[in-house]
């Protein structure tokens, strides 16, 4: 198939953030028709930003919005990575989220994140990381035990070697946020269709003509595939299979309890947070014992038995209760197991398919952190016919 040449845009990070809607919109007589596969937080952000450009947007979700990996995400907005370029991109997404939060009242908790080290080796790594982050503009600092007590008086860390604080971090209820993004996209004219699975991409020669779905056939000019772990199967029809690794993750959810923590609390061994409505969420780095149920989950997506869910949930919750004063009454509600769309090199895969330039691939981890900026950038690339050079390291063709 022939790939149309596209122009790289220098400095598009700032342009894409400030360009007017009218300059991106297609003519009044005919709007660009764009389909988005996937109703998680990434697809929702893309649909919203496309709708803002004036494109005719149809989002297809096979079950219900935010019902896949999004609903099972810890949803911590952060730039905690050693890759300078990737960190800068994540910092831009934090800034983009602050704008969206002001515009749409997403109810994001901007409380920052507390980290602590339980041995000298961890402490030394933390100090080096804090210095690197702070120099890069990712506000970070080492904190004393007294400062930690002021930031989070209910944390009961016991003995630890060092602690730090990232002031820019936030966290959210990802289901609530996704629904807010989709509500605004609908307000701007987008169609949100579910339950509706895209089963086949349709082409006229080398050009996309539409998609066949379980709810009928739709004519389209462009298609964005942001379907999480389902992306490879569908993208293969456009001549490209993004390489993902199997990445299951568990998360305990409690019933509502009194307010105890307004920040993310993290160590290499456990991390947890509390939503505004009182629900506590957390997980740990527990290595699954070699039993048949765990082996199956490690090999491919499958359900976890109720007894196993309860065992892991109560185990993680006990750890949280040991670190959070006042949480003794927090009641276990349920445990989720999510299958995260994890690219092979753990970096985003964003760009037009090497096999067809009308089909755009959008798969990433962490999708929650990146959704705000990627929605903005991807909508620009699709509607302007230009590429943002900042996304060059994350193109599908790198593999």
Query: Residue ranges per domain, the chain?
Result: 7-70+175-243+344-398, 110-170+245-343
Residue 76 CA to residue 281 CA, distance in Å, equals 11
Task: Name 324's bridge partners.
Answer: 155
**pLDDT above 70 for 16:** no
User: What CATH number should be reported for the domain whose range is 7-70+175-243+344-398?
Assistant: 3.50.50.60
**pLDDT above 50 for 38:** yes
Which class would CATH give 110-170+245-343? Answer: alpha beta
* Structure confidence by residue, pLDDT tens digits, 87-98: 999 999 999 999
Average pLDDT score, the chain:
90
**pLDDT above 50 for 209:** yes
Residue 14, pLDDT score: 43
What's the token pair of residue 211? Answer: 């998609």
Residue 309, pLDDT score: 80
**pLDDT above 80 for 327:** yes
Residue 294, pLDDT score: 66
Task: Name 350's bridge partners.
Answer: 362
Say if residues 383 and 32 touch (Cβ distance below 8 Å).
Answer: yes
Residue 299, pLDDT score: 67
Task: Name 224's bridge partners.
Answer: 36, 360
Place of tokens 């992306």: 231
Residue 93 CA to residue 49 CA, distance in Å, equals 14
Name the helix (H) or strand (E) containing 253.
Answer: strand 248-254
Closest CA to 75 of 286, 285, 264: 264
Residue 278, pLDDT score: 97
**pLDDT above 60 for 326:** yes
What's the token pair of residue 292? Answer: 């048949």
The DSSP-derived string for 264-309 is EEEETTEEEEE-TTS-EEEEE-PPPPS-HHHHHHHHS-----HHHH
Residue 180 CA to residue 185 CA, distance in Å, equals 9
Domains 7-70+175-243+344-398 and 110-170+245-343 share a fold: no
Least confident of 20-34, 179-193, 350-364: 20-34
CA angle 152, 286, 161 (to 5 degrees): 45
Residue 1, pLDDT score: 32
Contacts of 74 (CB under 8 A, 6+ apart): 171, 251, 271, 273, 281, 283
* Structure confidence by residue, pLDDT tens digits, 377-386: 999 999 999 9
* Structure confidence by residue, pLDDT tens digits, 294-317: 666 666 676 777 777 888 899 999
Residue 308, pLDDT score: 79
């Amino acid at each position: 198939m022939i790939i149309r040449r596209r122009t790289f845009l220098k400095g598009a990070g700032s342009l894409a953030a400030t360009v007017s809607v009218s300059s991106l919109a297609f003519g009044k007589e005919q709007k660009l028709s764009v389909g988005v596969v996937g109703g998680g937080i990434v697809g929702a952000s893309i649909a919203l930003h496309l709708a803002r450009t004036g494109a005719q947007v149809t989002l297809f979700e096979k079950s219900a919005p935010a019902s896949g990996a999004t609903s099972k995400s810890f949803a911590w907005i952060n730039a905690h990575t050693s890759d300078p370029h990737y960190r800068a991109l994540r910092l831009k997404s934090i800034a983009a989220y602050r704008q969206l939060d002001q515009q749409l009242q997403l109810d994001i908790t901007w409380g920052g994140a507390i980290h602590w080290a339980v041995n000298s080796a961890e402490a030394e790594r933390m100090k080096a990381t804090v210095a690197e982050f702070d120099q890069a503009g990712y506000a970070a600092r080492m904190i004393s035990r007294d400062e930690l007590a002021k930031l989070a008086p209910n944390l009961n860390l016991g003995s630890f070697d060092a602690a730090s604080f990232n002031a820019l971090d936030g966290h959210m209820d990802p289901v609530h946020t996704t629904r807010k993004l989709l509500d605004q996209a609908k307000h701007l004219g987008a169609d949100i269709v579910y339950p509706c699975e895209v089963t086949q991409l349709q082409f006229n020669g080398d050009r996309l003509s539409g998609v066949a779905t379980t709810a009928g056939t739709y004519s389209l000019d462009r298609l964005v595939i942001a379907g999480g772990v389902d992306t490879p199967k569908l993208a293969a029809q456009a001549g490209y299979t993004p390489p993902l690794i199997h990445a299951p993750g568990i998360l305990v959810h409690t019933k509502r309890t009194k307010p105890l923590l307004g920040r993310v609390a993290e160590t290499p061994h456990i991390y947890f947070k509390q939503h505004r409505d009182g629900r506590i969420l957390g997980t740990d780095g527990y290595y699954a014992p070699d039993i048949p149920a765990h082996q199956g989950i490690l090999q491919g997506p499958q359900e976890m038995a109720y007894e196993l869910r309860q065992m892991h949930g109560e185990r993680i919750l006990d750890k949280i209760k040991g670190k959070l004063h006042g949480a003794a009454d927090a009641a276990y509600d349920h445990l989720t197991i999510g299958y995260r769309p994890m690219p092979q090199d753990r970096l985003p895969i964003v760009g037009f398919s090497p096999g067809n330039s009308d089909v755009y691939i959008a798969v990433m981890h962490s999708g929650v952190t990146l959704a705000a900026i990627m929605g903005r950038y991807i909508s620009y690339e699709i509607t302007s016919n230009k590429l943002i050079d900042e996304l060059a390291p994350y193109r599908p063709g790198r593999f």
